[in-house]
Structure 1
């Protein structure tokens, strides 16, 4: 390796900085926290050994409704700061898990498709997550179809009762005036015509939605097949995989950027698949270009995609954070007491990072926003106005926005990795990344 890599476990200064808050993880880089000298400057890049990537495949994703205590990252299940830093190193919060220290708790499942680091070995994990996405889509579709069938059955029962009611009315009218038979016949025809039209419209809408899903899944499966081929034949030219990644990126980015931000299940599902697939394809294409030494190509593509992704993330944030009550139209409402058991401070921070209205707040305005949200939930009408169903919906919104923020962070930090490869004039990004024989750990790459 041209650039020496250090085990994260062997760098107590980095661990200490993460614990005391002077350093933060952002995507796959570690940088100085805002408010400290050199705030925002990258200190180290993160990379994972291939075997560590493979070990993540069996770890289940965090449930949407899981509590904060249950929402820890896979790495944090077994590794503690105490174990990492050794018996001779003393820092505060020694019993925190690595996932907590690095701000990896409660990251939404959607963000995990990029993995923590920038290793090309992450292709295997990306392929796995694409497969999981496809399975989740199929399961959700089956669940939705079951629900629709139940609704349809109830609608049929309602239609029967309505028809019976119409028959009673018609019989009564027949006794009043026989001439109304013609009118009632016309009304019955119009009623049946409207019903037929409504059913056709519903069926057409479902058919279009299913075709849309199939198109998205087809693109994802094609990319997955190329990733599998690349994994099986690592010495082959990656040009075909690169072409497929570009095709998938262009298609899914178009779908994602033209989606209307709206809290509607079917729309949200299709948009989420498009956005996640877009991110995976972008990262895959960038890694392949860097592997081939095409630094300028990778940087140019990433620059364009990051700006588009940021716009999409901001649009969704503006739409989903907006509330009827202006006191709650802020990402900081998720830090209020009703969400304490479900949403960690790290998640609130990540959501804030893609909320344009919250990014512009100064310290006093931020404090005021938090106070207004807390006061709103303490009002006498709060329990009635904000029932459990509303709280659950907000937790789901936080989960979704968190994944968008984390995906954006991973893409932006990949830009920084491309800069690193170019500044070192590398022939391939493989020269500075852990190989197959490297122990399964997290590694640090110098920023420059």
Structure 2
């Protein structure tokens, strides 16, 4: 039974607050923005999606809207990674495009769709679906790169025999590779942006993808996926085995994620991405299973411990990737400039800022000075050569990757808030607060 819940679409005061900036979406909650009166930062409402919404989005073949499912990575002819909304009818999703925009979802990376916006309403079928998508993405990436390299090699061989027309053949082959890469899942698009202008790096990445299939990462993810599938088929069975498996996978993938040294190398990013997303799924699964049996305090403790570790990893990656340039532009605000105004939204910058503690502490005057310095650097005589399209693409990849880390951190963080809400409402299990299977498709507001 739904307790004091309303469709977000039917709450004009919340939508108005989001549109004005007085309220912001953070993970699975809506809260007052920083600096807005005495209640700044306080939770206004919790968010949850109806099972029918997630089911509908899965049936139309895209990720659920709550995880950026209305977003697709569009790799254009020059390899520019730009996120845009799919034209999905509001009647299908229960969410308007205007609402997507004011909630800061219009440029949310598909990689962040490991979790629902709030808690897992449809539950384990969705978690298993996302794990399957991760494996499918890696398979497609491996096949795409292998086929692309074979085609280019064949065309290069022809170049020896047809020197006059050889360049045209090679260009066609490279275009074919670009077209094949268009099929890569959005959550791995940043890999292409990093490696597209360096064939040796592409070959190295292809080897890394092949090795990934032989590592324990995929095995552990498959183990968790099998457990989730079993949980979906037999929802009334004891969750003890599922909790045990989730805990095992969480501990292993957490350890693997923490071992990887942050560096702007495609193969490291790939392994880190797989480990981190699997870790988040395992943590969310375990926490939701605990809440389903009323173990709210245990769920809070679990998530709090994992959030602390996840935050350290996210901040390490942010520091490493934002400080890999010359000292003049070693700042997040190099992405918040005229050079990127058509590619990186203000919402994305704000999300990345959440995992950049040194940048958060800067006052407005210092921020403005940094922005001015960066823009001045982009206007220097050497800028066209130094900050070319390949360099821009790498910055877009960095922004997407860090945005994903920040969003996943927020999703996990707000699971603690939901567990606390369950305790405050004195319910026996978390399902009592969530929209039922017969609820109208859409986002729901739970009590604050």
Between the aligned partners of 1:402 and 1:393, the Cα distance in structure 2 is: 14
Task: Name whichever of 139-148 and 363-372 sits farther off.
Answer: 139-148
Correspondence list, 1:98-247, <5 A: 98-145=99-146, 210=211, 213-247=214-248
Residue in structure 1 matched with residue 190 of structure 2 by the alignment: none
Cα 1:412–1:207, aligned 2, differ >3 Å: closer, same or farther?
closer
Residue in structure 1 matched with residue 445 of structure 2 by the alignment: 444
- TM superposition shift of 1:117: 2.2
Residue in structure 2 matched with residue 369 of structure 1 by the alignment: 370
Between the aligned partners of 2:75 and 2:209, the Cα distance in structure 1 is: 31
Correspondence list, 1:310-329, <5 A: 310-329=311-330
Task: Report if the CA contact (8 A) 1:114-1:280 is conserved.
Answer: yes
Task: Report if the CA contact (8 A) 2:74-2:82 is conserved.
Answer: no
- TM superposition shift of 1:325: 2.4
- TM superposition shift of 1:424: 2.0
Residue in structure 1 matched with residue 22 of structure 2 by the alignment: 22
Task: Name whichever of 366-375 and 268-277 sits farther off.
Answer: 366-375
- TM superposition shift of 1:96: 6.2
Between the aligned partners of 2:336 and 2:74, the Cα distance in structure 1 is: 17
Task: Report if the CA contact (8 A) 2:48-2:119 is conserved.
Answer: yes
TM-score by length of 1: 0.80
Select 2:62's aligned residue among 59, 64, 86.
59
Between the aligned partners of 1:207 and 1:22, the Cα distance in structure 2 is: 45
Segments of 5+ residues of structure 2 without an aligned counterpart are: 64-70, 158-202
Task: Name whichever of 57-66 and 372-381 sits farther off.
Answer: 57-66
Task: Report if the CA contact (8 A) 1:343-1:395 is conserved.
Answer: yes
Count, aligned residues: 387
Return the index of the structure with the highest Cα Rg: 1
Task: Report if the CA contact (8 A) 1:261-1:315 is conserved.
Answer: yes
Task: Report if the CA contact (8 A) 2:23-2:32 is conserved.
Answer: yes
For the residue of structure 1 that corresponds to 2:445, the secondary structure is: strand
Task: Report if the CA contact (8 A) 2:75-2:81 is conserved.
Answer: no
For the residue of structure 2 that corresponds to 1:444, the secondary structure is: strand
Residue in structure 1 matched with residue 288 of structure 2 by the alignment: 287
For the residue of structure 2 that corresponds to 1:30, the secondary structure is: strand
Between the aligned partners of 1:416 and 1:376, the Cα distance in structure 2 is: 43
Between the aligned partners of 1:149 and 1:113, the Cα distance in structure 2 is: 33
1:307 aligns with 2:308: yes
Task: Report if the CA contact (8 A) 1:68-1:106 is conserved.
Answer: no
Between the aligned partners of 1:12 and 1:69, the Cα distance in structure 2 is: 30
Task: Report if the CA contact (8 A) 2:49-2:121 is conserved.
Answer: no
Residue deviations 1:284-306 (CA, integer Å, cap 9, x gap): 11111001100111011111000
Between the aligned partners of 1:69 and 1:260, the Cα distance in structure 2 is: 27
For the residue of structure 1 that corresponds to 2:84, the secondary structure is: coil
Residue in structure 2 matched with residue 170 of structure 1 by the alignment: none
Residue deviations 1:76-131 (CA, integer Å, cap 9, x gap): 84349xx98xxxxxxxxxx9621101111111111111011213414222211111
1:78 aligns with 2:89: yes
Cα 1:266–1:152, aligned 2, differ >3 Å: closer, same or farther?
farther
Residue in structure 1 matched with residue 68 of structure 2 by the alignment: none
Between the aligned partners of 1:349 and 1:435, the Cα distance in structure 2 is: 33
Between the aligned partners of 1:368 and 1:116, the Cα distance in structure 2 is: 35
Task: Report if the CA contact (8 A) 1:318-1:356 is conserved.
Answer: no
Task: Report if the CA contact (8 A) 2:291-2:430 is conserved.
Answer: yes
Cα 1:282–1:213, aligned 2, differ >3 Å: closer, same or farther?
farther
Segments of 5+ residues of structure 1 without an aligned counterpart are: 85-94, 157-201
TM-score by length of 2: 0.80
